[in-house]
Chains A and B, each alone.
Chain A
Amino acid sequence: MREEPLLEVRGLTVSFGGKLVVKEVSFDVPKDSWVCLVGETGSGKSLTALSLTRLAGGAHVEGTVRWLDEGSSKDLLSLKEEPLRVMRGRELAYIFQDPHSSLNPVMTVGEQMVEAYEAHFRCKRSEAEKAALISLGEMRLEARRVVACYPHELSGGMKQRVMIAMALLNNPKLLIADEPTTSLDVTIEKGIIDLLNDLRTEWPMSYLFITHNICLASRVADYIYVMKDGRIIEKLDRGPKGFYPKEPYTRQLFQAGLENVPPKTEIAV
């Protein structure tokens, strides 16, 4: 199968005051694919994700981030601020690790979602409210109850579902998720991952999923890019039985995820 690219990142380099943090990073997100960016703390994976749409404050960004859609192509890094703002949230959306700090504590879920919808579409309030209800329902939430809730009235898992509902409100083609399940319990994490999996079968959509957990990545991804010290050191394609890392560092990451490590033995890291 030949895959059409949706996002093509070439030579992305990010620096702060001359200090290189992301170095010559290149990767593709094909249409309707799940791509994972894996690395340990400080490897530059989150900064890479933010820099794609110039969201990294104070950073100097070089390279190209090509968005290919409906026969047209544009470089997000050289786009003017206003068209880029329109693209964020509409064509591509972000969710982050801590849903609590992404939500406004003094607004109900419904008010925030209406605001997010109205930022992109001129419409009647009732239409925005309807869109919010539909989107929450698709996240398997009790939409009518949740719209009236303030963030503190929801659990961590519910808040992350609300964030996904908000991100998908405008049917973006790419969802960039930065460690969206890291602060959640395993059962809640499983629920969110299953939900993301289901959503992808219902709508054509790609995910760029950022995680430190390569075992989680290997359960969901079509492609894994491994980052270390600001560089991509290995790209893994899903084979018939999963992923076959060649780089010793990537193998260490799998070891650290306790995949096939005998209990009570030293982990080779």
Chain B
Amino acid sequence: MLLSVQNIHKTFKGNVQALRGVSFELDRAQVLGVVGESGSGKSTLAKIVMGFTRPDEGKVLLDGGKLDRRKVQIIFQNPFSSLDPRLSAGASLAEAFRLNGLRGAQRLRSAVQEALRGVDLAPELAARFPHELSGGECQRIAIARSLSRSPELLVCDEPVSSLDLLAQARVLNLFLKLQKERRISLLFISHDLRVVRHLCDRVLVMKEGLVCEEGELSQVYAKPQHPYTQELLFSSGI
């Protein structure tokens, strides 16, 4: 088991209970989908797994130990705001490799080229700035940058929600490839149950800060137990 999340509670100012006791586990090379409506606590959960936000109670274990930032990376919904607008795509990637200890202009250049190829982008895109890239291209650059650290877990917070369907499909293909070839685990937060069905092995359904259903994806989709899961599936036309 790679990630173990145990009984997480988090209350924000104004007594907003974002999470009220959330636990789950995630295996290596597995994709866990987290679904639920806006305000159900999905993004707070992502921030806690990343260590950006401290839980009031409960703990997050990676490989049975403390969270290691190098092994966990996050992908956000809005790819434009994840990239520095003043840096070209290549410079953003090179910076990530440099922070990782890679030195030498030639080495950095070839690492950037390889990183772009790894996310199915043409090497020429290295010279472009975020505003010269499409949403899907930006998101793949953000993924390439997160991969520069060879993470074991990618936390993806609505990574395809701002993309149109074709761009979304290309990013989904990329996630599948990463999971198979690099055996990366994904914690995949999404409100889109079709996307989750395509990508995930297991699914966690959240409502009002609680897990209302969890299980193997095929089982939950075929026989949803909780009325809220049933409603979500029905609304998605599944």
Contacts and interface: CB of A to CB of B under 8 A. Distances in A.
Interface of A: 40-42, 155-156, 185-190, 212-215, 219, 252-253, 255-258, 261, 263-267, 269
B197 A267 contact: no
Contacts of B198: 258, 261, 263-264, 267
Interface in B137-166: 164-166
6 contacts: A187-B232, A215-B237, A253-B166, A263-B198, A263-B217, A264-B198
Interface residues of B, number: 29
Chain B interface helix/strand/loop/mixed: helix
Given A187-B37, A264-B198, A269-B170, A214 B165 contact: yes
B195 interface: yes
B202 to A, nearest CB: 13
Contacts, number: 70
Given A156-B38, A212-B164, A257-B165, A266 B176 contact: yes
A253 B235 contact: no
A213 B195 CA distance: 13
B176 A253 contact: no
Nearest to A268: B169
Most A CB contacts (10 A, CB to CB) among B169, B173, B197, B237 go to B169
Contacts of A186: 191-193, 232, 235-236
Interface of B: 37-38, 134-135, 164-170, 172-173, 176, 191-195, 197-199, 217, 231-232, 234-237
Contacts of A212: 164-165
A41 B176 contact: no
Contacts of A213: 165
Given A156-B38, A186-B191, A264-B199, A40 B235 contact: no
Top 10 nearest A-B pairs (CB, nearest first) are A190-B235, A256-B165, A256-B169, A212-B164, A267-B169, A269-B169, A187-B235, A258-B194, A186-B235, A40-B164
